[in-house]
Structure 1
Amino acid sequence: MTLLTTNLTAIDNELSNRDIALDPQGYFIIYVDRADGLICAKHYTNIIDDRGLAVDPETGKVIPAKGKVTRTNTTLYVGRTAKELCVKILEQTEPSPVSMLDHAAYLGREFVRAEIALLSGAEYIQD
């Protein structure tokens, strides 16, 4: 790794540990479907409680940030590129499943990372 790559990775790692506000419209689980050459994003609805925690609208239970959670997604979005997926979700879907600009920016970054992993064969792990 070069010094520049090390520094950029350190910046990203530090920013990944910041507190974020959750989008009341829901969240996405992103993954790569290598067999079909697609970037996939499962959308899940949630409710944000008075503590700022995401709650399952069906059960009322807090959705943990880590670990396995069994829920049914509301929509599956797929695209061949990050741009195609962003257009589908952020421009063509009404009502929008994204209500916060920082959430939209995060999705764009993650879709680009997923596209790079799809093209390079590298592993994709959502941040």
Structure 2
Amino acid sequence: MITTVETIAAIDYKLSKRFLELDPAGYFIIYLDRGAGLICAKHFTNEVNEQGLAIDPETGKPIPATVKVERQPTALFTGRTAKEICIQLFESTKPFPVSRLDHAAYLGREFMRAELALVTGQDYVQD
């Protein structure tokens, strides 16, 4: 069987629609700083309630997923490559800002996508 770009895109689209449990250790907003040539990841804390919603620890209110919310990140991680930012995040940071293996795998995939976009000049939008 030959794998095509369309097949890969269809698989990725389908898998992006699955249910994900939130990481109680927090979440990341990933973006590119093209001027500096960096992949950036802001880490934000959250709590997860009984319904599985992310709760702002300061306000006790749910954090909306579709509306931009102004919150202060707990940390900013940067790297020129996916490997560099992953080593910084997963090997050099204490306490560890990720508590779920599926979240760590997701971040690795996103950092690779961000690196590719940085190198090729394509747009990057976090999945």
My pick for the range that moved more, 60-69 or 25-34, is 60-69
Tell me the secondary structure at the aligned position of residue 64 of structure 1.
coil
Within 5 Å, which residues of 2 pair with 1:1-127?
4-127=4-127
| Alpha-carbon distance, 1:67 to partner | 2.2
Q: Could you say what the CA RMSD is over the residues aligned between the two structures, in angstroms?
A: 0.9
Q: In the comparison of the two structures, how many residue pairs are matched?
A: 125
| Alpha-carbon distance, 1:64 to partner | 1.3
Tell me the secondary structure at the aligned position of residue 83 of structure 1.
helix
| Alpha-carbon distance, 1:68 to partner | 1.1
Give 1:30's aligned amino acid: I
Gaps of 5+ in 1: none
Q: Deviations over 1:38-95 (max 9, x none)?
A: 0000000000011111000001110112221111111000001000000011111011
Distance 1:68 1:104 in 2: 24
Distance 2:45 2:54 in 1: 9
Distance 1:10 1:70 in 2: 34
Distance 2:121 2:26 in 1: 29
Gaps of 5+ in 2: none
Give 1:39's aligned amino acid: I
Q: TM-score, normalised by structure 1?
A: 0.96
Show structure 1 runs of 4+ deviating over 2 A: none
My pick for the range that moved more, 8-17 or 63-72, is 63-72
> Identical aligned pairs, as a percentage?
61
Tell me the secondary structure at the aligned position of residue 77 of structure 1.
strand
| Alpha-carbon distance, 1:10 to partner | 0.7
Q: TM-score, normalised by structure 2?
A: 0.96
